A and B are shown apart, each in its own frame.
Chain A
Amino acid sequence: MGILAQHVPSIEQLKPGLVEIIEEAGGSKQFFLSGGFATVQPNSVLSINAVEGYALEDFSADAVRNQISEAQKIAGGSGSEQDKAEANIELEVLESLQAALK
Chain B
Amino acid sequence: MLSRAARPALRAGSAATIRPATATIPTLQSANYATLREIEGRLKSIKNIQKITKTMKIVASTKLTKAQRAMTESRSYGQTSQTVFNEAETKALEGENKKILLVICSSDKGLCGGVHSGLSRAARRMLNEEGAGNYEIVVIGDKSKAQMSRSNPKDVVLSFNAIGKDVPSFSDAQAIADQICLLPNEYSQVKIMYNQFDNAQSYHPVVIEAYDEEAITQSPNFTAFEIDDEVLANMREYSLANSLYWALAEGHAVEISARRNAMDNATKNAGDMIDKFTILYNRTRQAVITGELVEIITGATASEDM
Chain A residue contacts of B289, Cβ below 8 A:
none
A49 touches B87 (CB 8 A): no
- Asked if B160 is at the interface of the complex by the 8 Å CB criterion, the answer is no
Closest-CB distance, A90 to chain B (whole angstroms) = 14
Main secondary structure of the interface of A (DSSP, over half): strand
Known contacts A8-B226, A51-B170: A13-B235 contact under CB 8 Å: yes
- Asked if B201 is at the interface of the complex by the 8 Å CB criterion, the answer is no
Q: In the bound complex, how far is the Cα of B225 from the Cα of A13, in angstroms?
A: 13
On chain A, the number of residues with a Cβ less than 8 Å from chain B's Cβ atoms is 14
Of the stretches A22-30, A34-42, A66-74, A91-99, the one at the interface is A34-42
Chain B residue contacts of A9, Cβ below 8 A:
87, 224-226
A49 touches B81 (CB 8 A): yes
Q: Which of A36-61 contact B (CB under 8 A)?
A: 36-37, 39, 41-42, 47, 49, 51
- Asked if A12 is at the interface of the complex by the 8 Å CB criterion, the answer is yes
**Interface size class for chain B?**
10 to 19
- Asked if A11 is at the interface of the complex by the 8 Å CB criterion, the answer is yes
Q: Which of B99-119 contact A (CB under 8 A)?
A: none
B83 touches A41 (CB 8 A): yes
Closest-CB distance, A69 to chain B (whole angstroms) = 24
Contact with A along B72-101 (1 / 0, CB 8 A): 000001001101100100000000000000
Chain A residue contacts of B227, Cβ below 8 A:
10-12
Question: Using a CB–CB distance below 8 Å, which chain A residues touch chain B?
Answer: 8-13, 36-37, 39, 41-42, 47, 49, 51
Q: List 5 A-B contacts (CB under 8 A).
A: A10-B227, A11-B84, A12-B227, A13-B231, A42-B224
